[in-house]
Amino acid sequence: EDFAQTPLLSGLNPEQLAAVTYPAEPLLILAGAGSGKTRVLTTRIAWLLHTAQAQPHNVLAVTFTNKAAKEMRTRLGAMVSHSLRRMWLGTFHGLCHRFLRIHHREADLPPSFQVLDSADQLALIKRLLKQAGISEEAVVPRVLQGFINAQKENGLRAADLDAPDPHTKRLIACYADYEQTCRREGTADFAELLLRAYEVLNARPELLAHYQSRFTHILVDEFQDTNALQYRWLTLLAGGGAALCAVGDDDQSIYRFRGARVGNMADLMTAFGIDAPVKLEQNYRSAGNILAAANAVIARNRKRLGKNLRTGAGAGEPIRFYSAADDAAEARFIAGEIQALRQEGLPLAHMAVLYRSNAQSRILEQTLFAERIPYRIYGGLRFYERAEIKHALAYLRLAVHRDDDHALLRIINMPPRGIGARTVEQIQQQAQSAGVSLFAAAVQLAGASAKIAAFVRLIHDLHERAQVADLAELTAYTVAASGLHDYFAKQKIPAERERTENLDELVNAARFFRPEEAAGWDGVSADTAGVAAVAAFLGHAALEAGDNQADGGQDAVQLMTVHAAKGLEFDAVFVSGLEEGRFPGEQSLGDAEAIEEERRLMYVALTRAKRRLYLSMAQQRMLHGMTRTGVPSRFVGEIPENLLHFLSPKPARRGAGHFDRFGAAQTAAAGGGFYAGLRVRHTKFGKGVVLAAREAGGSVRVKVNFGSAGIKELDTAFARLEME
Ligand code: ATP
Ligand code: MG
């Protein structure tokens, strides 16, 4: 009773309290969306520290995204007074990266090893295929990339593999070639971080024993989406008697395509002697209608572990459904509603637009931009993925590791310095025949070409400075000395010129880089000078590419895929593109297991909303240059109709089976020819889009969003409205 009165624990319900203060024994919490799993996990860490059951360095906590890790660190910081510097809190990749930086020697990696993100990885694969004279038809680069990653995620090296059929044999040979190149160039892709960290721990009992006794508490969020290798890594570390606390929701398992295994939950219980999972059944996030809709949808899945979710909140607003004439009209509708919510005082940052696949963001972005609504994209082209940033990072990579062929190829003629494709080929041939790196080959050829000589001098210069200079100084110097900054500054197109701002921002990022807050650095000096600092910064950049938009703290709508939205919550959520073949996605149609995965994805989407939920679709959409007719998603049909509020006439097209109720004829006539999504023009307010139209007492009133002129309600008998 005493404990429940400490501010730390106040406000928890009895089940949550029990989980937070559970003894130091293996524990699995299985609970639905919004039931406080993440909150329990965070509070448990605070509780352990607060009661001195653990010191920060005894805790290893795994989250699914960098964003989640940052949030947890901030929350913890507010709950306890401990310094959290030595706590290992991050994603699987982030933590393994930290581990390998410390133990690069044991892992047989150069101290300055570089992390390849997935674009780097693909580029490397293409280069290797070309060198081996294999056409991209014979071995599709993306297929090979998927193959390599899947093998690594199952803990398998090329040498472990064998196959009877020639195609797989060839993939295995390419995998072996790829492994060798990474070793030579001192690079590691994302999957490699995990596999290598696992192998090192597995092969070195003394190291394993050290970490096993250090981490007395291991906590994992989103456990349902761990893959086979992550599971093995976790159980290896926890195998020395650590109190492992895993929280998850089988209904939110959405990474099957990346090897996630829901079966890990059952396996964990067996392996750690857990009799039954702890359940949390109260949802604190969503209004009643939203939760009822989510529960109704997920109830259609057959493979479930079984949980209940109730809410203490009222029913709240109905769920709004809007069927637009086409995708542009859908985007305009969303923009109009965002404006309206904003006028009601809801900050943009509390609204999210979700979509099934990244490609859908383009038209949304275009519309939001036109309407001057600031937005931020998670999962699109992010700061560290932008071309100019990757160029600058490639120079930094060469500065610490001159044999990085991949980096060299990226920038040998960027900015243009007259080293053409023919010269590059010469360098490649020289490298191959002499069995050396491209840079070493360039050094050999420098005597014959002034241009190559100048390039070699530049890289040597950067290399020397990297040994001694401060990270921020080195970055600033590199951006200037490489000629990148000048090159972009001289461009005629404003968007190209603006790339210099990103380069400046990179220097800022280097200035504010704190290794211990990023990948973490205890055991290694937190120096900000020298090769180790640059390498840490580069690793951070590759991993960070996930979560940070560059453009500061401006209030902005959040745009992201449903996958990226996992674990997050927003006051208002728009789930867009709800058509058969889009959500559920095309590949899943006709495959019962895949449809169940899509349905879990829909469950995740719906349960992100706290107060207001919009579902939308387009009756026509351009796809691969062709107009396609959209049939409403079956998932919308699975929501009880009494929870829905139709903002548009129900679509005219007949769907099959349970979404028949959308078959009602379109009745735009009810609005005197005006309907939501219709583009209009007003002499004074300019261009607008109709949000709603209704007929009353013989006149037709329309609500129109005129963008910068605001949202107006007009009587069409008086207002001169032209249909565009
Ligand atoms: P998801 O499955 O989506 O990851 P979750 O189970 O991790 O959800 P949380 O994000 O931890 O749920 O919690 C959902 C919301 O409910 C948060 O805003 C959280 O602060 C709030 N919440 C959790 N427990 C309580 C409580 N006992 N009292 C009030 N609010 C709570
Ligand atoms: Mg959570």
Residue 588 and residue 256 in contact, taking contact as beta carbons nearer than 8 Å = no
Is the model's pLDDT at 661 over the cut of 80?
no
Cα–Cα distance between 101 and 113 in angstroms, integer? Answer: 8
Give the Cα separation of 160 and 150 in Å (integer). 13
Q: How far is the CA of 252 from the centre of ligand 1 (A)?
A: 15
Most confident of 328-337, 358-367, 579-588, 645-654: 328-337
CA atoms of 320 and 644, how far apart (whole Å): 6
Per-chain mean pLDDT for the chain: 86
Atom of ligand 1 lying closest to residue 39 CA: 11
Task: Of 57, 104, 96, 65, give the one whose Cα is nearest residue 190.
Answer: 96
Neighbours of 633 (CB within 10 A): 24
Decide: 68 and 75 in contact? Cβ < 8 Å.
no
Ligand 1 pocket mutation, candidates 17, 39, 219, criterion most atoms within 8 A of CB: 39
Q: Which residues are annotated as a binding site for ATP?
A: 31-38
Q: Which letter does DSSP use for residue 318 in this model?
A: P
From 251, 285, 562, the mutation candidate for ligand 1 (largest count of ligand atoms within 8 A of CB) is: 285
Q: How confident is the model at residue 672 (pLDDT cuts 50, 70, 90)?
A: low
Q: Return the closest-CA partner of residue 177 out of 217, 220, 221, 133.
A: 133
Print the SS3 string covering 123-134. HHHHHHHHHCCC
Q: Which of 137, 360, 687 is nearest to 678 (CA)?
A: 687
Q: Please, are residues 307 and 251 in contact by the beta-carbon 8 Å criterion? A: yes
Number of neighbours of residue 95 by Cβ within 10 angstroms: 24
How far from the centroid of its chain's Cα atoms is residue 524's Cα? 29
pLDDT at 718: 73
Distance 635 CA to ligand 1 centre (A): 25
The closest residue, in CA terms, to atom 16 on ligand 1 is 284
Which long-range CB contacts under 8 A does 589-596 form with residues at least 24 apart?
596/301, 596/302, 596/303
Summarize pLDDT for 93-117 with one digit per residue, the tens: 999 999 999 999 999 998 888 888 8
Query: Please, what is the angle between helix 205-214 and helix 228-238, to 10°?
Result: 80
Q: Which ligand is nearest to the CA of 17?
A: 1
SS3 561: strand
Q: Which residues are annotated as a binding site?
A: 31-38
What ligand has the least distance to the C-alpha of 600?
Answer: 1
> Which tokens hold the place of 169?
């044999």
Task: Confirm if 437 and 405 have CB atoms less than 8 A apart.
Answer: yes
Q: Is the ipTM of this complex over 0.90?
A: yes
Indicate whether 42 pLDDT > 70. Answer: yes
The one-character DSSP state at 513 is -
Lowest mean pLDDT among 31-40, 55-64, 289-298, 654-663: 654-663
Q: What angle do CA 402, 403, 405 make, to 5 degrees?
A: 110
Q: Provide the phi-psi class of 241: left if phi over 0, else alpha when psi is between -120 and 50, else beta.
A: left
H-helix or E-strand containing 544? helix 530-544
The residues that are catalytic are: 37-38, 221-222, 252, 608
Does 670 or 465 have the greater pLDDT score?
465
Give the pair of three-digit tokens for residue 325.
Answer: 């004439």
Q: How far is the CA of 34 from the centre of ligand 2 (A)?
A: 7
Residue whose structure tokens are 């982030």: 94
- Dist. CA 536 → ligand 1 center (Å): 34
Whether 34 shows a pLDDT value over 60: the answer reads: yes
Q: Is 174 exposed, middle or buried (0-12, 13-18, 19+ CB in 10 A)?
A: buried
Q: pLDDT confidence of 545, banded at 50, 70, 90?
A: low
Q: Which of 284, 309, 570 to mutate to test the pocket of ligand 1 (most atoms within 8 A of CB)?
A: 284
187 exposed, middle or buried (CB, 10 Å; 0-12, 13-18, 19+)? buried
Q: How confident is the model at residue 59 (pLDDT cuts 50, 70, 90)?
A: very high
For residue 90, count CB atoms less than 10 angstroms from its CB and return exposed for 0-12, middle for 13-18, buried for 19 or more: buried
Ligand 1 site, CB within 6 A? 11-13, 16, 31, 33-39, 249, 252, 284-285, 567, 569, 607
Q: How far apart are CA 354 and CA 26, in angstroms?
A: 35
Report which of residues 603 and 469 the model is more confident about: 603
**Is 324 in contact with 619 (CB distance < 8 Å)?**
yes
User: Coil, strand or helix: which one is 708?
Assistant: helix
> Taking the mean position of all CA atoms in its chain, how far away is CA 152?
20
Rounded mean pLDDT of 312-340? 94
Rounded to the nearest 5°, which phi and psi values hold at 411? -120, 5
Distance 13 CA to ligand 1 centre (A): 11
Q: What is the 3-state secondary structure (H, E, C) of 628-673?
A: EECCECHHHHCCCHHHEEECCCCCCCCCCHHHHHHHCCCCHHHHCC
542, 546, 549, 554: CA torsion to nearest 10: -140
Residue whose Cα lies nearest atom 21 of ligand 1: it is: 284
What number of CA atoms fall less than 13 Å from residue 687's CA on the CB side? 6
Q: β-strands 686-696, 699-705: how paired?
A: antiparallel
User: Which atom of ligand 1 lies closest to the CA of 16?
Assistant: 27
Q: Measure 35 CA to ligand 2 centroid, in angstroms.
A: 8
Token reading at 603: 């469950």
Q: Where are the beta strands (DSSP E) in 13-158?
A: 27-31, 59-62, 88-90, 114-116
Does residue 709 register a pLDDT over 90? no
Closest ligand 1 atom number to CA of residue 608: 3
Per-residue model confidence as pLDDT tens digits over 356-413: 987 677 788 778 888 889 888 875 455 676 788 889 999 999 999 999 999 999 999 9
Query: What is the distance in A from the centroid of ligand 1 to the CA of 283?
Result: 7
What single-letter amino acid sits at 698?
A: G
Ligand 1 centre distance from Cα of residue 569 (Å): 9
Compute φ and ψ for 714, nearest 5 degrees. -130, 150
What CA–CA distance (Å, rounded) separates 344 from 612? 13
Q: How confident is the model at residue 344 (pLDDT cuts 50, 70, 90)?
A: very high
CA proximity to 187, closest of 258, 95, 119, 117: 117
Q: What is the C-alpha separation between 261 and 250, in angstroms, rounded? A: 10
Radius of gyration of the chain measured on its C-alpha atoms: 28
Of all protein residues, the one whose alpha carbon is nearest to atom 24 of ligand 1 is: 36
Nearest to 239 by CA among 199, 273, 288, 283: 273
Q: What percent of the chain has pLDDT over 90?
A: 61
Q: Are 618 and 565 in contact (CB under 8 A)?
A: no
The pLDDT of residue 524: 43
Ligand nearest to the CA of 608: 1
Q: Name the strand (E) or helix (H) holding 699.
A: strand 699-705
Residues in the chain, overall count: 724
Query: CA-CA distances (angstroms) from residue 457 to 239, 405, 443?
Result: 52, 17, 9
- Pairing state of beta strands 310-311 and 319-324? unpaired
Could you read off the pLDDT of 479-537 as tens digits, one per residue?
999 999 999 999 877 667 778 877 887 887 788 777 665 544 443 444 556 777 888 88
C-alpha distances in angstroms, 453 versus 391, 404, 447, 450? Answer: 20, 18, 7, 5
Whole-number pLDDT of residue 515 = 66
